[in-house]
């Protein structure tokens, strides 16, 4: 089949899985996961085929694989939607397909397929274990299967559909559609365990926060459409259009039209990728099951935000060229990215929940990518996006595996007050869960940027190199510090979780997780190591040149102008080596002896409480919104004013009614007309009755009299 058709078909297996599971296979857990994983596998297969065909195509950037159909009639023309696989889309498709597939497979094990139904499991709450009796008559607990198992796969399918749509689309509209579908699914999945109030709140928080970003993004899309008359990437990113947009000025902050649109679209990225100030939803989104966290916060959704930003790079950098000062928009983007990177890293230092650390880490790394975009380092941003997706997904799935193992321990000991996600309850898990340990280690090192063998090193180094080379010192320093902190807290995490001795009985009884969970870890670990090697800069000492910098060549073709190759500079390399190795070392050093939070000197309240941003937003936005809704709109406007009007109308009508009844109806119509006529008739009757005497002679007299009268009248008339 043609590649174009294949691309069209890629998003649909997960969508089909969604419908099939919801409509038909909901009761059958095995069938549901078969449908789900099978759909993910199909899409993965299709994506791989497309990817390999794409990289085999010469000059894919100038002649991307594309197809479109006329969809919406707009006056004289048609609004077209379609698919586009240019180099950027191809590499993104690659990692999206892999991570989605791995997450689907992982979910089978994570949601405890094959386990018995729990003792008091209810739909909407996390499963709590089932009691079994062993051969010797002893009771023991095992993990129980998730009650809403099938629904999970259905939602994951819908989510996957949204992401695939976003990646393959050739225009902003369908991209936005995919964007919004993922927003919906993140709500559904974060609130998957809807019985927990914290999960419900987190879901709403996520949706609302990203909504703020989405509104601005939609404004940007509308503005773009009105400025150019099209939303199709290939049509917008042409020399002429970009030139026009970049030279037309807007009254806002002296930005050009291109800059303003790019800024508005960027705000969407800020929301979706949880950059400051719209970062507050991501940590709370850890309420969802771990595959969801992996999906949303590593592989797909937040990556979608950065992907959108990368897509709009030509618009962002319209009117800018390498070496020039940053435009206003770029400056804002770079600032937000760098600030977020550092900000989130500081918070991650003080978190004790294994998933929270990773959440803030994600925010931080996304900050890296956004900053990279802001300074115009296109390739670096894409590179880091992909490597991050792999190792972050790996880390999240790994943490899920750890939690699963800990839950095993919790069920064993029966002490449900122990939080299986708290790192201070772990320790020594490297012996109990070796595969998880090694893959997590690889992932952690990749995150920290461990030199050469991890992909994270190559991508992070490229960002730093780009920042240094173009003289963006503030960004460089900020990112370097953030990288140091990243390595530090990562090592903290690894030390507390896996190294040392188990600190609790639950940790002692932890178990390795089944193959459906460890195989994805291994696959992702493979990529976390090797993916970096496709993008080794050719000017790198010693290692550069062994492999061609395929990534730069390939992805660079997406832009109109091939981004230049950077000259090698020793400073960024040394810096990244220093921060990575230093951070790892110091992290290990500081935490190898720590046994409890009391000994942890980084448990600073400000950091633990996320710089009090949640409280600030609550005060500034949430409470006023509630007040507005409850008091102003509900009490005053709705109940008071509108209901008041309605009651008033009702009262007036009732009054009119009773007035009419009493004065007109009763008095005039009933008494006067109704009873009056009756009385009149009666009176007349009484008066007239005596005429009928029954005496014939009187009747005759009367008739004769009348006859005479009438006769004389007639006679006189006729005789005239």
Partner 1 sequence: MTILFLITAVVILASAMMVVTARNLVHAALWLVVTLFGVAVLYAMLNAGFLAVVQVVVYIGAIAILFIFAVMLTGRQAREKGPGLNRNWWAAALMGIVTFIGLAWMLQGWRGFSQFSNALPSGFESVNELGQALVSPEAYVLPFEVASILLVTALVGAVYIAFNRK
Partner 2 sequence: MIPLSWYLILAAALFSIGLFGVLARRNAIAILLGVELMLNAVNINLVAFWRYLNPIQMTGQVFAIIVFAVAAAEVAVGLALVISVYRSRKTIVADELDMMKW
Supply the minimum distance, in Å, between the C-beta of residue 713 and partner 1: 12
716 binds partner 1 (CB under 8 A): no
Phi and psi at 560, nearest 5°, equal -65, -40
Work out what residue 133 binds among partner 1, partner 2, none; the CB cut-off runs from 5 to 8 Å by kind: none
Query: Running DSSP on this structure, what letter comes out for residue 353?
Result: B
Q: What is the size of the binding site for partner 2 (CB under 8 A)?
A: 11
CA–CA distance, 314 with 559 (Å, rounded to integer): 7
Phi and psi at 125, nearest 5°, equal -120, 150
Work out what residue 251 binds among partner 1, partner 2, none; the CB cut-off runs from 5 to 8 Å by kind: none
Q: 133 vs 696, which CB is nearer to partner 2?
A: 696
Supply the minimum distance, in Å, between the C-beta of residue 700 and partner 1: 9
Q: 547 vs 700, which CB is nearer to partner 2?
A: 700
Site string for partner 1, 687-706 (x = CB under 8 A): ----------xx--x--xx-
Q: 668 vs 708, which CB is nearer to partner 1?
A: 708
C-alpha gyration radius of the chain:
37
Q: 677 vs 712, which CB is nearer to partner 1?
A: 712
Q: 70 vs 711, which CB is nearer to partner 1?
A: 711
Site string for partner 1, 646-685 (x = CB under 8 A): ----------------------------------------
Site string for partner 2, 632-671 (x = CB under 8 A): ----------------------------------------
Work out what residue 719 binds among partner 1, partner 2, none; the CB cut-off runs from 5 to 8 Å by kind: partner 1
Following DSSP, what letter does each residue of 581-597 receive, concatenated? Answer: HHHHHHHHHHHTT--SG
Yes or no: say if 512 and 433 are a contact pair by the CB < 8 Å rule: yes
Work out what residue 712 binds among partner 2, partner 1, none; the CB cut-off runs from 5 to 8 Å by kind: partner 1
Measured CA distances, 80 to 2, 173, 316 (Å): 20, 10, 24
Supply the minimum distance, in Å, between the C-beta of residue 716 and partner 2: 19
226 binds partner 2 (CB under 8 A): no
Supply the minimum distance, in Å, between the C-beta of residue 715 and partner 1: 7
Q: 677 vs 693, which CB is nearer to partner 1?
A: 693
Tell me the helix, strand and coil percentages in the chain, rounded to 5: 70, 5, 25
User: CA dihedral defined by 47, 50, 53, 57, rounded to 10 degrees?
Assistant: -120
711 binds partner 1 (CB under 8 A): yes
Cis peptide before 122 (omega within 30 of 0): no
Q: 570 vs 696, which CB is nearer to partner 2?
A: 696
Work out what residue 321 binds among partner 2, partner 1, none; the CB cut-off runs from 5 to 8 Å by kind: none
CA–CA distance, 471 with 715 (Å, rounded to integer): 133
Work out what residue 706 binds among partner 1, partner 2, none; the CB cut-off runs from 5 to 8 Å by kind: none
Supply the minimum distance, in Å, between the C-beta of residue 691 and partner 1: 13
712 binds partner 1 (CB under 8 A): yes
596 binds partner 1 (CB under 8 A): no
Residues 6+ apart with CB under 8 A from 451: 457, 576, 577, 580, 581
Map residue 318 onto helix, strand or coil.
Answer: coil
Yes or no: say if 364 and 340 are a contact pair by the CB < 8 Å rule: yes
719 binds partner 1 (CB under 8 A): yes
717 binds partner 1 (CB under 8 A): no
The stretches of 499-594 forming alpha helices (DSSP H) are 505-508, 515-530, 550-556, 570-591
Following DSSP, what letter does each residue of 113-164 receive, concatenated? Answer: TTSPPPSS--TTS----EEEE-TTS-EEEE----TTHHHHHHHHHHHHHHHH
Which residues pair with residue 544 across a beta bridge? 547
Query: Which 673-712 residues touch partner 2, going by CB under 8 A?
Result: 689-690, 692-697, 700-701, 704
716 binds partner 2 (CB under 8 A): no
Q: 569 vs 712, which CB is nearer to partner 1?
A: 712
Measured CA distances, 694 to 296, 684, 690 (Å): 108, 19, 9
Interaction site with partner 1 (CB under 8 A): 697-698, 701, 704-705, 708, 711-712, 715, 719
């Amino acid at each position: 089949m043609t590649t174009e058709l294949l691309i069209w078909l890629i998003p649909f297996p997960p969508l089909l899985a969604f419908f099939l599971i919801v409509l038909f296979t909901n009761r059958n857990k095995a069938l549901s996961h078969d449908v789900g994983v099978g759909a993910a596998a199909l899409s993965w297969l299709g994506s791989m085929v497309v990817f390999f065909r794409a990289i085999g195509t010469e000059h894919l950037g100038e002649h991307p694989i594309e197809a479109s159909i006329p969809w919406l009639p707009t006056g004289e023309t048609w609004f077209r939607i379609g698919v586009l696989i240019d180099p950027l889309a191809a590499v993104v498709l690659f990692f999206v397909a892999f991570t989605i597939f791995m997450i689907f497979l992982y979910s089978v094990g994570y949601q405890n397929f094959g386990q018995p139904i729990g003792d008091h499991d209810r739909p909407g709450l996390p499963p709590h274990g089932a009691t079994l009796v062993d051969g010797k008559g002893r009771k023991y607990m095992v993990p129980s299967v998730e009650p809403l198992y099938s629904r999970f796969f259905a939602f994951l399918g819908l989510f996957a559909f949204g992401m695939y749509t976003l990646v393959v689309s050739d225009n902003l509209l369908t991209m936005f559609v995919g964007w919004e579908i993922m927003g919906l699914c993140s709500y559904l999945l974060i609130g998957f365990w809807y019985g927990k109030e914290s999960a419900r709140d987190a879901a709403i928080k996520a949706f609302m926060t990203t909504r703020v970003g989405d509104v601005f993004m939609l404004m940007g899309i509308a503005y773009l459409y009105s400025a150019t008359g099209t939303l199709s990437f290939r049509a917008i990113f042409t020399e002429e259009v970009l030139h026009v947009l970049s030279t037309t000025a807007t009254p806002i902050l002296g930005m050009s039209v291109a800059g303003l649109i790019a800024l508005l679209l960027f705000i969407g990225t800020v929301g979706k990728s949880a950059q400051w100030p719209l970062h507050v939803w991501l940590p709370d989104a850890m309420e969802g099951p771990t595959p969801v966290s992996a999906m949303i916060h590593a592989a797909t959704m937040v990556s979608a935000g950065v992907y959108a930003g990368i897509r709009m790079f030509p618009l962002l950098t319209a009117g800018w060229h390498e070496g020039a000062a940053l435009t206003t928009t770029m400056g804002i983007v770079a600032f937000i990215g760098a600030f977020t990177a550092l900000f989130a890293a500081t918070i991650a230092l003080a978190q004790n929940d294994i998933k929270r650390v990773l959440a803030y880490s994600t925010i931080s790394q996304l900050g890296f990518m956004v900053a990279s975009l802001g300074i115009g380092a296109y390739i670096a941003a894409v590179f880091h996006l992909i490597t991050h997706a792999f190792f972050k997904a790996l880390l999240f799935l790994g943490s899920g595996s750890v939690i699963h193992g800990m839950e095993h321990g919790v069920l064993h000991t029966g002490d449900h007050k122990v939080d299986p996600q708290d790192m201070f309850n772990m320790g020594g898990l490297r012996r109990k869960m070796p595969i998880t340990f090694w893959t997590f280690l690889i992932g952690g090192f990749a995150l920290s940027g461990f030199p050469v063998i991890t992909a994270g090193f190559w991508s992070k180094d490229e960002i730093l190199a780009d920042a240094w080379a173009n003289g963006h010192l503030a960004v460089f320093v900020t990112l370097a510090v953030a990288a140091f902190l990243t390595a530090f807290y990562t090592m903290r995490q690894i030390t507390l979780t896996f190294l040392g001795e188990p600190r609790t009985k639950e940790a002692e009884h932890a178990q390795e997780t089944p193959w459906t969970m460890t195989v994805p870890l291994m696959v992702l670990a493979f990529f976390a190591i090797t993916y970096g090697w496709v993008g080794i800069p050719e000017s790198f000492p010693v290692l550069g040149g062994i492999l061609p910098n395929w990534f730069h060549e390939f992805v660079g073709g997406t832009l109109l102008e091939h981004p230049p190759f950077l000259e090698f500079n020793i400073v960024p390399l040394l810096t990244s080596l220093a921060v990575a190795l230093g951070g790892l070392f110091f992290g290990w050093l500081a935490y190898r002896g720590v046994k409890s939070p009391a000994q942890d000197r980084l448990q600073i309240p400000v950091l633990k409480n996320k710089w009090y941003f949640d409280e600030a937003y609550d005060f500034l936005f949430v409470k006023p919104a509630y007040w507005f809704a409850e008091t102003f709109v509900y009490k005053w406007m709705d109940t008071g004013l509108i209901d008041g009007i309605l009651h008033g109308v009702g009262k007036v009508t009732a009054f009119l009614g009773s007035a009419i009844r009493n004065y007109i109806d009763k008095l005039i119509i009933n008494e006067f007309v109704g009873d009056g006529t009756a009385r009149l008739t009666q009176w007349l009757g009484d008066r007239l009755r005596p005429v009928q005497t029954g005496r014939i002679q009187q009747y005759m007299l009367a008739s004769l009299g009348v006859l005479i009268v009438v006769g004389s009248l007639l006679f006189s008339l006729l005789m005239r």
